[in-house]
Amino acid sequence: MRTIVVESDMRAKDPDGGCYRIIQELQHQIECKEAELDKIYYTIANCRAQNAHRLQMQTQKIDDGDHCQMMNKLPLIGFETEK
């Protein structure tokens, strides 16, 4: 019953579109938000790819013999021996 009342009120306010026009507007808003979300996902994926590339380049530098730079970045770990 509530649905019929809402639909009739919408038809009274907008005789041409009624509920259909509201549904179209909401669908358009959903599509815009989905496009915005896709753009955000693309940006995140791009940032992750750039970060992975930077890490790969850093690892490659270390593997190429730049061990001194790596030693400055790594914490020293002390091992205790049993007496």
Q: What is the pLDDT of residue 7?
A: 87
Per DSSP, 74 falls in state S
Domain count, the chain: 1
Do residues 7 and 19 lie in contact, with contact meaning Cβ atoms separated by under 8 Å? yes
Supply the pTM of this predicted model: 0.56
Q: Classify residue 71: in a domain, yes or no.
A: no
Q: Classify residue 15: in a domain, yes or no.
A: no
Measured distance between the N- and C-terminal CA atoms of the chain, rounded to whole angstroms:
86
- 80, two tokens: 């205790």
The count of other CB atoms within 10 Å of the CB of residue 27 is 10
What mean pLDDT comes out for the span 37-52? 96
Q: What is the pLDDT of residue 17?
A: 84
Q: Classify residue 4: in a domain, yes or no.
A: no
Give the range of the structural domain holding residue 54, as residue numbers without chain letter.
25-64
Q: Classify residue 76: in a domain, yes or no.
A: no
What mean pLDDT comes out for the span 52-62? 84
Q: Is 81 left (phi over 0), alpha (psi -120 to 50) or beta?
A: beta
